Amino acid sequence: MTTGSPWFRATNEPEPEPIPADPYGAPSPYQEPAPAPAPYPYTEQAYQEPGQPYQDPAQAYQEPTRTYGEPTQAYQEPEPVYEASYATTYDAPRETPREDAYTPPYEPYEAPETPEAPRPSPRPSSDDTTVLEAVEPLPGPGRAERRRAAKGGGRGKSRRGGPPATTAGTPTAEPAAPLSRVEARRAARAAKDSVGVIASRAVGELFITFGVVMLLFVTYQLWWTNILAGQETDRAKEQIEDTWAKDDADKDDSKPGAFEPGEGFAIMYIPKLDVVVPVAEGINKAKVLDKGMVGHYAEGKLKTAMPSDKQGNFAVAGHRNTHGEPFRYINRLQPGDPIVVETRNAYYTYEMASILPQTAPSNVSVIEPVPKGSGFTGPGRFITLTTCTPEFTSTYRMIVWGKLVEERPRSEGKPKALVG
């Protein structure tokens, strides 16, 4: 063994190399770690205000002992604040503010003042219009500024070059800059109505005019023609009666061609309808029917008998609407109702026998000597009244037939049908 060597290491073993220390300061694994320092004794103490004498923590806080006394009175139900059946509003509970709560001072509300806009004053312009501008207008722009305004470069600026002024957050209307001649012409052309507007106005005026004309025409047909026809029939009756008074009472009216077309020769009475109308020769619309008279079928194939004939059918026609409308209510006649025809020499009384409510205008068999559909089986002395139907149209014809029951000379007076 080598002198000075430990007893457990052989003399021939080399010395172990020391382990280098950790460059970051970590302890060597072969060094005993230093003992940890003893913990600092900590005692829980109650908080004390600075400057106060020391107090034992055990006696710092004690729970106060509460004592409860007996209630002085029995519990009572609180009275209701309001009744649901009569309450109209509900008051929500309000919290009582704390004494130290901040209450802002009361300040009455004042509405902000609105600046008064400058009153416009009319100023006549060069194009005979009225331009509105402020009471105190700014000086007019120069020639250069007017050119810029005409080109569109200075539209958003004021006359003095700055932005429009505002007062209390409200923009003030800037007076419009005067337009150049070119712009004035363009504005005048733009203000003119377009072709479509002019055309629509023209069409509307035409429709209004057409409606007014139609209204006047209807008024003329339904009202004024009756007035004119009434005047015509009055004159025709007077003329017939004057003729009867002047001419010879023995004149024979039954001969063919005794009367000219449109000449009145008789007067028809329908007492039930309060109708008194002259009877003229022929059924010409303009000369007879439109004048309010009743026309006698006496032309060509439609020639019928006269009341004085001993046998035949005396057929007449009249308007049902407009132009006097003498046959408007013949549909109300009943069998037995009298129809009287007065001529120069006699009264001929017929009794209504039957009616045909509707037939074609081409049905001429209804005015034959023995009319078809009338119920007459043999020759006799008949009367036939024809008119248009339905009302205000001429689509069909209405036919009323009657049979002679009395022929009375005028010298003997009026028949019972007219006297009664």
296 given a catalytic annotation: no
Please answer whether residues 361 and 396 qualify as being in contact, where contact means their C-beta atoms are separated by less than 8 angstroms. Answer: yes
Please answer whether residues 398 and 331 qualify as being in contact, where contact means their C-beta atoms are separated by less than 8 angstroms. Answer: yes
CB contact set of 237 (below 8 Å; sequence gap of 6+): 264, 267, 276, 278
- 319, 323, 381, 408: the catalytic one is 319
- 320, 344, 381, 397: the catalytic one is 397
The whole-angstrom distance between residue 183's C-alpha and the CA centroid of its chain comes to: 41
Q: HSE of 43 in the Cβ direction (CA atoms, 13 Å)?
A: 5
Please answer whether residues 296 and 267 qualify as being in contact, where contact means their C-beta atoms are separated by less than 8 angstroms. Answer: no
- 296, 320, 388, 408: the catalytic one is 388
Distances (CA, A) of 215 to 224, 391, 394: 13, 19, 21
Query: Letter for the amino acid at 52?
Result: Q
**Which of 271, 201, 278 is CA-nearest to residue 235?**
278
In angstroms, the CA 262 to CA 325 distance is 18
319 given a catalytic annotation: yes
In angstroms, the CA 354 to CA 382 distance is 11
DSSP letters for 250-282: T----STT-S-TT-EEEEEEEGGGTEEEEEEEB
**Which of 374, 331, 324, 377 is CA-nearest to residue 353?**
374
Structure tokens at 10: 């052989």
In angstroms, the CA 268 to CA 339 distance is 7
397 given a catalytic annotation: yes
**Which of 223, 233, 217 is CA-nearest to residue 326?**
233
Catalytic residues, by residue number, are 319, 388, 397
